Every structure is written in C-alpha cells, then in structure tokens.
Amino acid sequence: MNLLEKIKSKTGIYIHYPWCMQKCSYCDFYSVPAGSPDSTEFHQKNSKYLQTLLSELHIRAETFHKNEVSSVYFGGGTSSLMQPEWIEKILSEIRKYFQLSDCEVTLEGNPENFSDDYLKSLSEAGISRVNAGFQSFSEKNLLKLQRFYKMESYLEAIDALSRSPVKNWGGDLMYGLPDQTEEEFYSDLKMLLSYNPVHLSLYSLTVEENTALASQILKKKISGPDELLQQKILLELRNFTKAYGFHQYEVSNFSLKSYECFHNLRYWLYLPYLGIGPGAHGFNGRSRYGNPRNIETWLKHPHDSELISQDPINEIPLMILRLTGAISINYIISLLENHIPQFNRSSHRDGIESLIKQWTDQGYAEYTNQTESEIFPQDENSRFFSWTNLGLQFLDERVLEFSRLSEKLLELP
C-alpha cells in the first residue's frame, strides 16, 4: 500500500508543548522558558497545561469526523521535557475519541533528555518514533545559535538512541550556520550516520522575521547564512545520503525505505490534522485555525482559536512541490479542483500540464516512471514528475510560477 492510501482516510494530531530550557536564536515557534524542570512550580505549570490540553482535545475531537488517527506528533518547544506518564495519559485520552491502531507516535526533543531510561519509558508509554534535534555536534556552532546544550549529553544521547527500544529514530542537523564550513557540516552528518538512524532532517538555516538571529544579523553582530554554500550542500545531499541507503523524499528530509515521517507527509500532502496546545495550528481540510501564542491566554480560553483564511492557490504548491520523489500530477490537479470550486475546467488541467512540460523542457523537472512513487497510487492513468538538481536549486521560483499560473487560469473567461 502506498503512503497516501495509508494516511488519507485518517487524521493526524499535533500536540504543542510550550516549554524550552532556552530559546534558540533562529526559532520562531512559540516557546517559553521552563526554569527548573525538577521544581514544584514547573510541575504545577505542567499539571495545568495537561488539564487544559485534555479539555481542548475533547472539544476539537468533536469537529473531526474521521475516527482513525495515522499519526500523533509531540512537538514544541522541547517536548522531551514531558514526563512519560503525561504522554501516556494524553494518548489514553486520545483513544477515547480515535482509533490508534498502526499509528506513528512521534516525540521530538533535545539530546540531553534522551537517556537509556527515558527512551525505555517513552517506548512503554506508546512512543514509536523519536527525533533528536542535534543541529550540530560543534560547540562553536551551538553557541552561535544560542542553543541550550550539554556537550557530553550529545554523545550519550546518540549512543542511547542507537540501542533504544524505539527503533524508528532520527536526528536534525543544520547547514549554512554563521561561519560554518562545509567540512564541519559533513563531519556532523557522518557522525550522526555512524550511529545508524533511519531518518535524517537536514535543514539549511533560514532567518525568520522577529527572531534574535534576524536582529543579530541586522546589527552586524553575526554573519548571515552562506547561501552559496547552502545551495552546494543541498545539491550534494541526495547522492551523499543515497550511499548510506537513504532516499530524499522532501527537500529537507531523508529516510531509509518505509521510514518516512507519516505526520509531516500530512502537511506536504495538504491533508487534515488536529492541532492542540498553545501556539498550535490545525487544518480540517477546508479551513485553518491557530491557537493563542500565549500560554496564559490559552489556559483561560483553549478553544477560542483564530480562524486563518485558507489560500489554496498558494498553499497547495508551497506544500506539495517540496516533495522530491515522484510527484503525481493527477493528485496536484485533484487538490486544486477539491479546494478551489472554480478550478474544474479542462483548460485549467491543460494549463498545469503545460507548465510541468515547460519545466521538463527547461531542465527543472523530468517525467518519472510511476513505479518509483512510494507516496502516490499507481495506475495506468497516473503521470509523475520529479525535480532535477536544477529544479531544487530554483524551487522557490517554480512554486511562485505555479501559483501565478493558477491565478491566471481562474481569470480566463
């Protein structure tokens, strides 16, 4: 069964845990300082958080009519600060509303939390997938990111992960950090690969508005990302990781066969998911909502989320064109037709087909044999394309080109 068929008829649940030991300079996700994780005050905060989270889950579950869940994702913040018994209680509550058979349950977190005992407890609590945010094994680079770390914990964590009962584990690394060399990044990557993860998330550093990093670069306190080096590494990663048995299935994500992240695929395939917790976002397939990015406000009004206008003309290509395996042309067009009522004429379909043909003529893409698709259904009417290295290098331009064409097609009489 292909991955789309596994997850399309189900939903996903994202749970946002807001506390971090320290805010990284590049991060624009909602988080607040944890203080001392062993203090009575912190446990009291978590008790209130857990109680409110379960209350929000009860309300949100009533709006989602699918009774099966393909993935639950504990993110943050630093969700590895959560006690296993809290996780077990949340999953138990989810089971009151949804079936979790054959469900991927991910917890992401920081290396200093992933000890042998913690990983064993996570497995017993129901976690089936773990992702560790290493970002770098270089103390110099971690300091520049203003990242909380304990260097000795990084080595202990990667060792614990390699023998963990949670076999589906991966790690995050970043490239293009201020003054980071190509050799330093590949040293980090080889270090991670030597412990046999099944998944890799390899991100180029981006400078988000209103982050500490953006302010530091503006004030010339630190250099910005080396974009030329980022492009060079991006174009090399596909072949480099292939030598270790990995395939690139999204711009920044690589996995061994059958270890793609189900939950993140939901986002890229434009499928519904439930978002719970302060700062969380959700998508019911037609409209989006966003919870308050303030824990005190959320604790008082966990169900009063802000409705976010859906913009499928821009959102659909922004999501699905990030996939780097064989992309189904039929699926892209079906998304447009399902989410944009006016997009239902043969001329609209022909326009999209012509654009993809133009990309192949320009060397940005190539038509792909349908047997190479692990994500989409394969039948005699299916057509697929995939990005070349040139297409990956100029992907933002292709996404914008797709959106502009869609707008023009809808304007035609």
Per-residue pLDDT of 318-365, as tens digits, reads: 999 999 989 999 999 999 999 998 898 889 999 999 999 999 999 999
The closest alpha carbon to 327, from 371, 363, 376, 364, belongs to: 376
CATH of the domain at 211: 3.20.20
DSSP-derived 3-state class of residue 183: helix
Residue type, 361: D
Cβ neighbours, 10 Å, residue 394: 14
**Is residue 250 in a domain?**
yes
**Is residue 296 in a domain?**
no
Q: Using CA atoms, how far apart are residues 65 and 178, in angstroms rounded to an integer?
A: 46
One domain, residues 136 and 254: yes
One domain, residues 99 and 214: yes
Domain count, the chain: 2
DSSP-derived 3-state class of residue 350: helix
Cβ contact 48:61 at 8 Å: no
End-to-end CA distance of the chain: 41
Backbone angles phi, psi at 51, to 5 degrees: -60, -45
**Is residue 297 in a domain?**
no
**Is residue 286 in a domain?**
no
Taking 70 as the pLDDT cut, the residues of the chain under it are: 370-372, 379-380, 413
Q: What pLDDT, on a 0 to 100 scale, did the predictor assign at position 66?
A: 74
**Is residue 290 in a domain?**
no
The closest alpha carbon to 330, from 376, 286, 373, belongs to: 376
Between CA 243 and CA 182, with CA 129 as vertex, the angle to 5 degrees is 40
**Is residue 332 in a domain?**
yes
Q: Please give the distance of CA 369 from its chain centroid, rounded to a whole number.
A: 27
Q: Using CA atoms, how far apart are residues 61 and 84, in angstroms rounded to an integer?
A: 23
Q: What pLDDT, on a 0 to 100 scale, did the predictor assign at position 372?
A: 65
Q: What pLDDT, on a 0 to 100 scale, did the predictor assign at position 344?
A: 83
DSSP label of 83: -
Parallel, antiparallel, or unpaired: how do β-strands 274-276 and 11-17 relate?
Answer: parallel
State which of 211, 235, 268 marks the end of a domain. Answer: 268
State which of 245, 268, 291 marks the end of a domain. Answer: 268
Q: What pLDDT, on a 0 to 100 scale, did the predictor assign at position 371?
A: 64
Which residues form the domain of 402?
A: 312-411
pTM above the 0.85 mark?
Answer: yes
